[in-house]
Structure 1
Amino acid sequence: MVQLLLSFIVFVSGAVLMSLEIAGSRILAPYFGSSIFVWGSLISVVMTALSIGYYWGGWLSARQPSFGKLLILLLIPGIVIFFLPFLYPAANEWVASVDFGIRLNPLIACSILFLLPGIFLGTISPYAIRLAATTLSTVGSTAGTLYAVSTAGSIFGTLLTAFYLIPVMGVRNIIHSLGITLVCLSLIVVPLVRLGGVYLARAVTTITLIIGSLMMAWTPGVSARTKTLIEKESFYHRIRVEEDEEARYMYFDRTLQSAMNLKDPTALRLIYSRYTSLGFALRPDAKKMVLIGLGGGSIPKKLLQEFPSLQIDAVELDPEVIQIAKTHFNVRESKNLRLHAQDGRMFLTRTQNQYDIIMLDAYFTDAMPFHLATKEFFELAQRKLAPNGIIVANLISAVRGPSGKIARAFVKTQRQVFPQTYVFATRRPDNVSLETIQNVIVVATRDKQQIDIKQIVKQAMSIDKGLFPNPIQDIAVAYYDRPLADHDVPVLTDDYAPTDNLLHP
């Protein structure tokens, strides 16, 4: 019976730790993004905690092991984890405000939040092995069995959290539940504990009060904000919709993705979206378009208003985003607007259609889906374009300097497939430096000759309809007419695409 109980304990503790790691990515994302640096920090801190915990658990097990100590080893992380939702907003805010750098920020935050409970959970398996081993000859088999059970628990916790709990429960509820689970797990050990009930109660109460006081001290104040209409976790983002007197906004984590004027829902409110319309200045006769990255659907709504016969396939990875675009941003699916919950590259691979315009609006400030920026991807896109088809991409980057490496690598890669590229720095008309991160629109064509920017502006003026910047001459100001220095960036391929390092050099 004791062996079965200890197996159950190591299984659940393994599941809790990996569930905490998966949920931890969502705790960090609103403040530090979801780049490889965040995941590298999470994995490193958890592995560090396990290493320390294994050593400490083995050390403790050699010094009068008891079920009372096992109870405490389960109870303390349970209480700490339960109170984490009261701590992590303030801790993340502090790290982000001090700004230790793109790599150190998530590492420090992970250490503050997850190192301590991870160490305690790391002690469980070696300590349980010592309690379970009855003779020296059975230590090896006991250790192997319990570590296998712990690993199985880790697999279970990972899959349960990633596949089910995050979109169903939300991060705060998951974290609270993990804490409660460990506290309940410690109570299972109570019948085996040879410890005075009064002393045990005092120990539990003291630990709870101390940790509770610390957490309350970290609880952030609530500031006045715009009205939040919806906030939910999906498989890919923490989605939030806010509204003020003028507009409604969609956020992924902390990044603004889309905005809609309340009085004119089809107007292009965000300046970058007016530059994405440049595809129609180059191809005003476009009949079919695919948009990768829907967001709030501002672009397809406006395009269909001005070009009623245009056929648009809008591809969005996150089905929750599509649903919110329908319910909160007036996006209506029709025979001319087809919505697909799918990865953009997978959609292009499977579709039999050819398009006049492929528009890419799926890149973020902190991360870029590398598989949508490689030479192989652009070769695929070329095959799915009509003979005179073009690609329009919205990047978050500078044009020059270290912060512009991702844009320069993107353009360098495109030029392996598309002879002509046009680069527009959308904030340049506002005298924003080309070395400042901003929306950079890149248009790529297979034309043999470059079209003069004056001709592009003239064609945009002939269309207008609120599709382009105001004044429309800003197009010429935003245009970067010099060769991009690309000697310091690679051609991106499926085999080698260091997009995170290029985004954050």
Structure 2
Amino acid sequence: MIPPARPLPTLGAAAFAGGWALMMLEILGGRLMAPHFGYSVYQWGAVIGVVMAFMAAGYWAGGRIGDGPDAPRRLVQALLAGAAWAALSPWIGPPMLARIAAGSPPDEGSIIAATALLGVPSFALAMVSPLCAGILNAGQTGGTAASAGRVSALSTMGSIGGTFFAAFAAIPHMGVSAGYGAAAAVLALGLAVLAGGRLFAVAAALLAVAAGPAALKAGEGFALYRESAHNTLYVRDDGVEVRLHLNLLNATQTRIRRDGRPTGLYYDLFPVTPALAAGLAPGAAPRVLILGLAGGAAATGIAARWPGASITGVELDPAVVDVAYSHFGLGQAAGVRPVVADARGFTERDENHYDLVIIDLYSGASIPFYTATQEFFTAVLRRLAPGGAVVMNIAAPADRDALTGPLGATLAAAAADGLAGGGPLGVFVADAGRGNHFLIATAGTADVEAVRARLPMDSPLSRTLEPSVTAGQPVLTDDRSDIDLRTIAALFGGRRG
């Protein structure tokens, strides 16, 4: 039984630990799922919804047994179950999630994966608060409502601490695997204050230590594996090609060949895109803004083809910029200025004008919704010099029109407020190869032949350039966007609005 001398501090510490670990596991779970399901609204909706569902079941179960004589033993079991699951997650989670991702569509798979990864600990740790409240009330320290209120407050304070610790300390500085170990260690401390829980606290502490080495397994086979506040970074180097993956292993953010030859992918096409700027005088050096620098393939390619070009590359994650220099040779490209900033915030604050704006913004396999809306494109068009051009990379191997149609319509709608002097703004689409497409907007002309003439005749962009079909397509806004659903349709096929 719980010692009656100091029931509230003892039970409060257990409730605090349970709340702390529960929120850590939720955030860590989302990060562990990202390499397989990305960072879409479906993934986070699945994580939050599944956790809340199992928490509700855990509260109910804890409340049913919290007033009984078996409550202290069940409390120890609940904390131990949470600690064991936390310690095992970085080991069993990745292969389990990979199997689920291989056998399920992304939206449904997210729910299945969140259930498999987070159901057990969410249920067990949600039981902690009602169990503590029941035991506290049995100690006659106050009424039922008072007991429940005190325990809930302490549990919520733990949840707040776990949320901030996971987001601002564990993931960016310790890594996901060590973060799981930290969650198990907190539960070990919660067990240590309970009578009958000290032996189990030792077991939980050993489990916490065992979670850390999982990070070594996660980095096997990669030239670099790193956690940052924004991404899980993977670099593969097979001696021929170097590839950068952010969060999602089957999506490549940058690929270069060590011998400098073309990769056969869309990265090879960026060097010709400054020619799309009608306002660029012959022989002049273009001013280029790249939103989504990643490993710098677009920047280095343009710098090599256009001597004297002034290239500003915006990248959200400073760790990605570090990798661009250490593994992708960005430092060898003249005229490239990396800027660590959010792409949308940068375009809204920047006062410079550019002949070409390249948009290649993918978080895993998804375009962040706020960088594909009328408000964002308005800010982008305001950065265009007269006769300038916008080139946006779109991955759509299964259904091109799922994204190019609405994004083209959204770009066209932004011209009224964003383009200096109004239109015309030509909106085109070109096949960039292997499931990628370039959405191209040109200020000053909407004539497809005039735009095609600016490109080298042997360029795939010149051969495949055609007007984008925007009539009847939805305009995506900050208030209303279904780009996550459309991205799934573009990548895998299926229904779309």
SS in 2 for 1:296: coil
Q: Distance in 2 between matches of 1:458 and 1:86?
A: 53
Q: Distance in 1 between matches of 2:243 and 2:160?
A: 37
Structure 1 pair 140/364, CA: closer, same or farther in 2 (3 Å)? closer
Other-structure match for 1:148: 153
Cα contact 2:276–2:388 (8 A) shared by 1: no
Other-structure match for 1:15: 20
* 1:263 matches 2:292: no
TM-superposed deviation, 1:144: 1.2
Q: Distance in 1 between matches of 2:296 and 2:262?
A: 10
Cα contact 1:281–1:456 (8 A) shared by 2: no
Cα contact 1:259–1:269 (8 A) shared by 2: yes
Other-structure match for 2:365: 366
Other-structure match for 1:464: none
Cα contact 1:45–1:107 (8 A) shared by 2: yes
Residue identity matched to 2:431: A
CA deviations 1:330-370 (Å, max 9, x no partner) are: 11288822111101111112222111111101135632122
Correspondent of 1:447 among 444, 448, 451: 444
Structure 1 pair 367/496, CA: closer, same or farther in 2 (3 Å)? same
Residue identity matched to 1:316: E
Other-structure match for 1:382: 381
Cα contact 1:364–1:396 (8 A) shared by 2: no
Other-structure match for 2:53: 48
Correspondent of 2:77 among 68, 72, 86: 72
Structure 1 segment 402-417 matched on structure 2, within 5 A: 404-417=401-414
* 1:490 matches 2:487: no
Other-structure match for 1:478: 464
Question: Structure 2, unaligned stretches of length 5 or more?
Answer: 1-5, 416-424, 489-495
CA deviations 1:76-102 (Å, max 9, x no partner) are: 221122112221122112112222x22
Cα contact 1:246–1:262 (8 A) shared by 2: yes
Residue identity matched to 1:95: I
Structure 1 segment 238-249 matched on structure 2, within 5 A: 238-249=232-243
CA deviations 1:236-294 (Å, max 9, x no partner) are: 21101111121211111212111122122xx5535212333442232254531110011
Cα contact 2:427–2:468 (8 A) shared by 1: no
Structure 1 pair 76/382, CA: closer, same or farther in 2 (3 Å)? closer
Q: Distance in 2 between matches of 1:51 and 1:226?
A: 38
Q: What TM-score does the superposition give when structure 2 sets the normalisation length? A: 0.85
Residue identity matched to 1:331: L
Counting aligned pairs with the same residue, the percent is 26
Q: Distance in 2 between matches of 1:366 and 1:335?
A: 30
Other-structure match for 2:452: 456
TM-superposed deviation, 1:405: 1.5
Q: Distance in 1 between matches of 2:32 and 2:42?
A: 14
Q: Distance in 2 between matches of 1:204 and 1:364?
A: 40
Other-structure match for 2:120: 116
SS in 2 for 1:494: coil
TM-superposed deviation, 1:42: 0.5
TM-superposed deviation, 1:180: 3.3
Q: Over the residues paired in the alignment, what is the CA RMSD in angstroms?
A: 3.0
TM-superposed deviation, 1:398: 4.9
SS in 1 for 2:331: coil
Q: Distance in 2 between matches of 1:440 and 1:334?
A: 26
TM-superposed deviation, 1:54: 0.4
Q: Distance in 1 between matches of 2:83 and 2:446?
A: 66
Question: Structure 1, unaligned stretches of length 5 or more?
Answer: 433-437, 462-471
TM-superposed deviation, 1:137: 5.1
Q: Distance in 1 between matches of 2:115 and 2:122?
A: 10
SS in 2 for 1:275: helix
* 1:251 matches 2:237: no
CA deviations 1:158-202 (Å, max 9, x no partner) are: 11111121011111121123223323421321xx23x9x9xx88x
Other-structure match for 1:25: 30
Correspondent of 1:279 among 273, 277, 282: 273
Cα contact 1:279–1:443 (8 A) shared by 2: no
* 1:311 matches 2:295: no
Cα contact 2:233–2:246 (8 A) shared by 1: yes
TM-superposed deviation, 1:500: 0.8
Correspondent of 1:129 among 124, 127, 133: 133
Q: Distance in 2 between matches of 1:295 and 1:270?
A: 18
Cα contact 2:455–2:461 (8 A) shared by 1: no
Q: Distance in 1 between matches of 2:270 and 2:402?
A: 21
CA deviations 1:30-80 (Å, max 9, x no partner) are: 111110111011001110111011010011113214433321221122112
Structure 1 segment 153-302 matched on structure 2, within 5 A: 153-189=158-194, 192-193=195-196, 227-253=221-247, 254=249, 255-264=251-260, 268-283=262-277, 285=281, 287-302=286-301
Could you tell which deviates more after superposition, 45-54 or 300-309?
300-309
TM-superposed deviation, 1:298: 1.3
TM-superposed deviation, 1:227: 4.8
Other-structure match for 2:484: 500
* 1:106 matches 2:103: no
Could you tell which deviates more after superposition, 329-338 or 45-54?
329-338
SS in 2 for 1:256: coil
Query: What is the count of residue pairs matched by the alignment?
Result: 461
SS in 2 for 1:228: coil
SS in 1 for 2:413: coil
Cα contact 2:405–2:470 (8 A) shared by 1: yes
Cα contact 1:276–1:394 (8 A) shared by 2: no
SS in 1 for 2:370: helix
CA deviations 1:99-121 (Å, max 9, x no partner) are: 2x221101111111111111110
